[in-house]
Amino acid sequence: MLFEELKKIIKGDVLADENTLKKYSRDASLFEIRPQVVVCPKDAEDIKNLVKFASQKPGKDQMLTLTARSGGTDMTGGALTESVIVDVTKHLNRVLEIGEDYAIAEPGVFYRDFEKETLKKGLLLPSYPASREICALGGMVANNAGGEKTLAYGKTENYVMGLKAILADGIEYSFKPLNRQELDSKLSQNDFEGKLYKEIYSLVTEHKEDLDAAKPQVSKNSAGYYLWNVWNGKVFDLTKLFVGSQGTLGIITEIKFKLIKPKKHSRMAVIFLKDLNPLANIAQAVMKFRPESFESFDDNTLKIALRYLPSLVKLLKKNIFSLAWNFLPEFWMLLSGGVPKLILLAEFTDDSEERLQSKLGDLEKELEKSSANFRVLASEEEARKYWVIRRESFNLLRHHIKGKRTAPFIDDFIVKVEDLPEFLPELYKILGQYKIIYTIAGHVGDGNFHIIPLMDLSDPKNHEIIKSLSEKVYDLVLKYDGSITAEHNDGLIRSPYLEKMYGEKIYGLFEKTKKIFDPNNIFNPGKKVGAKMDYAFEHLIKSAK
């Protein structure tokens, strides 16, 4: 019946066949939730009609909710629902305009296609994540994505100049930074938009001290709603709430991004650590030279990449012989020194080749003081093999490991870099209590690590490990005033921990924020607020693979 009703009001696609529902039951997380229907809206009018339709279906028995989805790469279950999936990639996928330092695009544009267009003008959106080849812009905004260039340029929140979104009343609104006069004009409106501005303004001004104190004091954060960023006394900006909100406040239909001009020259230093003890000190030494990117992956990731060399060959667009030749220095290093426990990638950029060479020379002198084995690579092409391993490690794991699957649940915590010497030994002690295989990758320069265990999720014992290990790791992260998620967001897996991270009062402000925007709870419920740990564990993927 729902399928037929939606067909009458939607110009785009309404899908409910078995293959479609199975496909949209999963994302890149460890959950599986079957939707009733998948809608691919033709345009904003379709979304307006959807929202109005959902608003007319109140009550527990007939509750209809809308969960926006773009690339399907979310690792938290944020784009999963038992109700209606709204996939924007099929039709809402146009780059509308590229200016001198900005671009306007729809949320269903894949980042890889967006970058091709912006690079034609010598411009770049630098907050792309490791999933850059398969993610879309809507998800980048919804999760407040960050990645390898975030160290120098910041996360997606720094690049959203404005956006359009359809709210709970079924109307599309434009959001951008407002000065005091513009804000007063909004506050004077006697409609849904005016009420929204008044209530959010009251919330952030009345609780300013508490919100300022609650803001995580780390370089990246994707947990909760960013209420502390909305009003600085001069500028009021509701885009700061939409970024990172995982589609819980409305459905985004258009985004205006600020773009940067990438530096002309880049070189990479690769550092091989036999053990993890010197990691923190070496990280601090490298950071003195202000790398644009400072990434890492571990021995398990390297072994998987070499084990599945044909996939790597395909990604690098090389043949097996040229790839083997390309890795000759590394093979020799492995033969002479053994497999390193961790590989660090420090990329430096500059518009001046001379300045870049000088900085690399100073870095070499600094690294020679340590016991680390390292190489300064000769070219960007030589560095590419390392970037492919770092960026594609999660997908290599997802697609090739038999009998076990990736289980991202402690995959995105962050602490201050200066706390790593004390934090890391405590973390490894906790991990050592469990007999699990895991890979480590991440952003060393930010103190942001991605730990991905490999598990057989059909084994109930592993469900208990997920609960126990999550509690212990997050307690440790919060002990060091970090964030439980720097980039990947909350979704099903971390939303239940938000009250632990922020406390009852701030969590209560998150609940009020959700209620102000979405009084009928139709936008992606059960994420950010109202999340239930039992519900999440009931929907863990039950298969081994």
Query: Rg of the chain's alpha carbons, rounded to an integer?
Result: 23
Instruction: Please name every residue paired with 85 in a beta bridge, in sequence order, or none if there are none.
Output: 38, 67
Q: Residue 484: name the closest of 284, 218, 297 by CA.
A: 218
E strand or H helix at 272 = strand 265-273
pLDDT in tens, 367-381: 988 877 888 888 777
> Dihedral through CA 332, CA 337, CA 343, CA 344, nearest 10?
-100
- Helices 192-206 and 504-517 cross at an angle (nearest 10°) of 170
pTM of the full structure: 0.92
CB atoms near residue 83 (< 10 Å): 19
Q: What is the pLDDT of residue 220?
A: 96
Amino acid at site 51: V
- Looking up tokens 């959106």 gives 125
SS3 353: helix
Would you give the DSSP letter of residue 466?
A: H
429 φ/ψ angles, rounded to the nearest 5 degrees: -65, -40
Amino acid at site 162: G
Q: Residue 482: name the closest of 402, 531, 426 by CA.
A: 426
CA 76 – CA 78 distance, rounded (Å): 5
Q: What is the CATH number of domain 95-258?
A: 3.30.465.10
SS3 369: coil
Q: Residue 100: name the closest of 161, 148, 145 by CA.
A: 161
pLDDT under 50 in the chain at which residues? 60-61
SS3 46: helix
User: Hey, what CATH class is 265-479 in?
Assistant: alpha beta
> How far, in whole angstroms, is CA 86 from its chain's centroid?
19
Amino acid at site 310: P
CA 94 – CA 99 distance, rounded (Å): 15
pLDDT in tens, 152-164: 999 999 999 999 9
Would you give the DSSP letter of residue 533?
A: H
What are the angstrom distances between the C-alpha of 362 and each of 152, 334, 517? 20, 26, 52
Which one of 3.40.640.10, 3.30.43.10, 3.50.50.60, 2.60.40.10 gives the CATH number of domain 2-90? 3.30.43.10
The answer to whether the beta carbons of residues 267 and 347 sit under 8 Å apart is yes
**H/E/C letters for each residue in 451-465?**
EEEEECCCCHHHHHH
Burial of 416 (0-12, 13-18, 19+ CB in 10 A): middle
Q: Residue 418: name the closest of 275, 276, 218, 277 by CA.
A: 218
Q: CA-based angle 241:244:246, to the nearest 5? A: 105
The answer to whether the beta carbons of residues 255 and 141 sit under 8 Å apart is yes
CA 472 – CA 461 distance, rounded (Å): 17
Q: How many DSSP H helices and E strands does the chain contain?
A: 23, 17
pLDDT in tens, 236-270: 999 999 999 999 999 999 999 999 999 999 999 99
The dihedral built from the CA positions of residue 518, 523, 529 and 533, taken in this order, carries a sign that is: positive
* 2-90 matches 265-479 in fold: no
CA 340 – CA 332 distance, rounded (Å): 12
Q: What is the pLDDT of residue 202?
A: 98
pLDDT in tens, 454-478: 888 888 899 999 999 999 999 999 9
CB atoms near residue 258 (< 10 Å): 15
What are the angstrom distances between the C-alpha of 8 and each of 3, 14, 387? 9, 10, 47
188 φ/ψ angles, rounded to the nearest 5 degrees: -85, -10
Task: Give the start-to-end residue ranges of the domains of the chain.
Answer: 2-90, 95-258, 265-479
Q: What is the pLDDT of residue 297?
A: 86
Give the number of C-alpha atoms closer than 13 A to the C-alpha of residue 365, restricted to the C-beta side: 8
